[in-house]
Structure 1
Amino acid sequence: MNSFEIAAFGATPALVQRPAPQPAPSEVRVRIAACGLNFADLLMIEGKYQERPPLPVTLGMELAGTVEAVGRDANPALLGRRVAVYAGSGGLAEAGCFPAARCVPLPEGMPFTDAAAFQVAYGTSHVALDHKARLQPGETLLVLGAAGGVGLTAVEIGKRMGARVIACARGPQRLAIAEQAGADHLIDSTTDDLRDQVKALGGADVVYDPVGGDLSTQAMRACNPDARLLVIGFASGEVPQIKANHLLVKNLTVMGLYWGGYLAFRPEVLTDSLSRLFQWYAEGHLRPHVSHTLPLSRAAEGLDLLRQRKATGKVVITMDGAATA
C-alpha cells in the first residue's frame, strides 16, 4: 500500500510503499477513502506537535473509510462498516490499523470527504464552545481565523448555539465564506482595527482564537467583563503573552483546549460531542466546507495550501485519485 510519511522530524514527507498492516487484538484495519489535513500535521512534520509518535510516521490525523478486518477482541459487527477515525497519525495511507474504540459509524449518506473533514474541526469547536466556554444564547462570540479549518466551524456551531457571531478573517473572499456559515458581523483583519470594531459592536463575551499573535491581544482588549477566551492554536506562529493584571481587572477567564488530549483522561467528552455533531449533520444543520480535494499523490501540495494559507475550511486527501478545488 502507499503511505505518505516522514522518516525523521524536520524531513520532507515522501510517498512510500509499505506492506498492508495487520490489526492487533483490539484494533481494526480500515481501507481508507479520505483523510482531512490539519495545521497540526505541519507541526508534526517539524517535530513541534505536542505528541511525537515513533518514526517513521505516516501523517494524517483524521480519516474515513471502511473496516475491512477486525482483531480477535474487536467487535465483529464493525466489519464492513463505514467509519470515521481520529487516529492522531496514519490517515495518509491506503489502509491503516486503529483502535476499534475510536471508530465512529457514519450517518447514512455522509460522503467520506465530509467525514474526513469533520471530526477535528467540528469537534474542537463544539467542545470549546459548549464544554469549556458554556456559550449561551444571545452572547457575542468573536471568532478569529473565521474562514480556516476550525474557525469556520466555530462560526457555524456558534450560530447553532444561539450566539451573535463576529467573524474576523483576511480579505473579502474569506469573510464572504464566514458570512455564508452564519456570521452576523464581519471584520477584515488586514484593514480594520479589531479592538475598535468589536467594541463598537458591543464587545465580545467569548473569543475563539486559533490564531494568536497581535490579533489575540486586540481581541482580549475588546472583551466584556467576565468574558471567556478560548486558546485553540497559534496559526500566526506567535504565542501571545497574556498579562494577568488584565484578566484580574476585567474578570476574564482564559481556557486552553487540546481536543485530542481528552482521549487520555476523559474520552467521553469527545464521544458525546461527536454523537451530537453527527446528529446535527444528519439533520442538515452542519455542512463541512472543503475548499480542495486532492489525491494521495498530491498530499504535499495539500499541506502547502495550509502552510501558505490558500485554503478555506478543510483540505481533504482522497485515495481514489479524485481532485477538486
Structure 2
Amino acid sequence: MISAVGENVTDVAIGDRVISMVGWNGMATKVAAKASSCIPMPADMSFEDGAAFLMTFGTSYYALKERAQIQPGETLFVLGAAGGVGLAAVMLGKALGARVVGAVSSPDKAAFVQECGADACIVYPRGTFDGAGRKELAALFKAAAPERGFDVVFDAVGGDYAEAALRAIAWNGRLLVIGFPAGIPNVPLNLALLKGCSIVGVFFGSFREREPELDRRIVDELMGLYESGAIRPHISRSFPLEQAGNAIAHLAGRSAMGKVIVTIEA
C-alpha cells in the first residue's frame, strides 16, 4: 500500500493498493517510489498478480500494439515464449486477434505455451551455432511460418536466434528487439533490405518516462483486459523474501515458465 504521494498526483491516495516499477531495490519490506509511477490496482487483483503484471504485460503490449501495430489475422512469432514477457506476448497476441506461434527450448515448455493459448509452438536447440547450425535454425523457423513468413517477430532471446527469425520474416514484417539472454545479435542488415522489414527497438522503461500520457493509456487498456479476464499472469514459483537469492538462481537456470515472484509478509 502507498504511504505517501507527490504533488500533482490525483489518482492514488494514502492507503491505496498500487503497482510501481521502482527500477532497483524492489526486494525489500519498504521502498521509495516516484508517486507518478504508482498505478492503482484493480479491486480483484491480488498482490501476487500485481507483482507479476506490469513489467511483463506492459512491455509486451507496448511492443505489439504501439511498436509493431499488430493487426488481427497477422501471424506473431514469439521467441522465448515460456518466459515472463514471452508468455505475456502470447496471451496479448491472441487477445489482439493474431495467430501466435511460440518458440521455446524444451518440449514441456512447448506444451505449456500451447496450454496458455499459442496456436503452435516449436522447440529450438540451445547453444551457439556454426554456419551449418544457423542454416538449420533458420530452416526450422521458416518451416513454422506461413508461406509469406511471420508478420511480427517478438525476440526476447537474441543471439543467433535473431538472425534465424529475421530470415523467416514476411515482407513488411516487424522484428521487435526485446532482450538478449542468448547474447546481443550480430544481424546482417542486408536481410532488412531484402525482406523490406523493420527492426524495432522496445525499451519499456524509457518509454514510460518519455511518453507518460501514452503510457497511462496503455496501462488503462491493460487493466481493462485484466478485469475482463482476457489476460492473467502465470506464476510458476514464489519465494519468500529471505530466499530471494534462490529466486534469481531459479531464473538463471532457465527452468521457469511464466513469472517467478518474491513475496513479503505484512
TM-score scaled by structure 1?
A: 0.75
Q: 2:178 & 2:7 partners in 1: Cα distance? A: 38
Q: Which has the higher strand share?
A: 1
C-alpha separation in 1, matches of 2:54 and 2:11: 24
Comparing both structures, which one devotes a greater share of its residues to helix? 2
Does 1:196 pair with 2:139? yes
- Residue pair 2:12, 2:39 contacting (<8 A) in 1 also: no
User: What secondary structure sits across from 1:317 in the alignment?
Assistant: strand
Q: Distance in 1 between matches of 2:9 and 2:96?
A: 36
Unaligned runs of at least 5 residues, structure 1: 1-65
Q: CA deviation at 1:197?
A: 3.8
1:182 aligns with 2:117: yes
Partner of 1:142, secondary structure, is strand
| Matches for 1:154-233 after TM superposition, within 5 Å | 154-190=89-125, 193-200=136-143, 201-202=145-146, 203-233=149-179
Query: How far apart are the structure 2 equivalents of 1:247 and 1:121?
Result: 27
Give the deviation of 1:71 after TM superposition: 5.3
**Distance 1:72-1:182 versus aligned 2 partners, 3 A rule:** closer
Does 2:72 correspond to 1:129?
Answer: no
What letter corresponds to residue 218 of structure 2 in structure 1?
S
Structure 1 residue identity aligned to 2:142 = K
Q: Could you list the per-position Cα deviations for residues 26-76 of structure 1 after superposition, in whole angstroms to 9, with x for gaps in the alignment?
A: xxxxxxxxxxxxxxxxxxxxxxxxxxxxxxxxxxxxxxxx11334577659
CA distance 1:252–1:318, change in 2 (3 Å)? same
| Distance change >3 Å, CA 70–CA 271, structure 1 → 2 | closer
Contact 1:136 1:163 in 2 (8 A): yes
Contact 1:75–1:100 (8 Å) recurs in 2: no
* Residue 187 (structure 2) pairs with residue 242 (structure 1): yes
Deviations 1:283-312 (A, max 9, x none): 111110111111100000001111111211
1:118-149: CA deviations, max 9, x gaps?
00100000000000000011111000000001
C-alpha separation in 1, matches of 2:97 and 2:185: 29
Secondary structure, aligned partner of 1:78: coil
Identity, in percent, stands at 40
Size of the aligned set, in residue pairs, is 255
Q: What is the deviation of 1:103?
A: 1.0
Distance 1:68 1:123, change over 3 A: same
The answer as to 2:22 corresponding to 1:87 is yes
Give the partner amino acid of 2:125: T
Extract unaligned runs of 5+ from structure 2.
127-132
**2:214 counterpart of 1:264:** no
Residues 132 and 117 of structure 1, relative CA distance in 2, 3 Å threshold: same
Residue in structure 1 matched with residue 253 of structure 2 by the alignment: 308
TM-score normalised by structure 2 residue count? 0.90
Tell me the amino acid that sits aligned with residue 260 of structure 2.
Answer: V
Q: Once superposed, what is the RMSD of the aligned Cα atoms?
A: 1.9
Residue 144 of structure 1 corresponds to 79
Q: CA–CA distance in 2 between the matches of 1:304 and 1:269?
A: 35
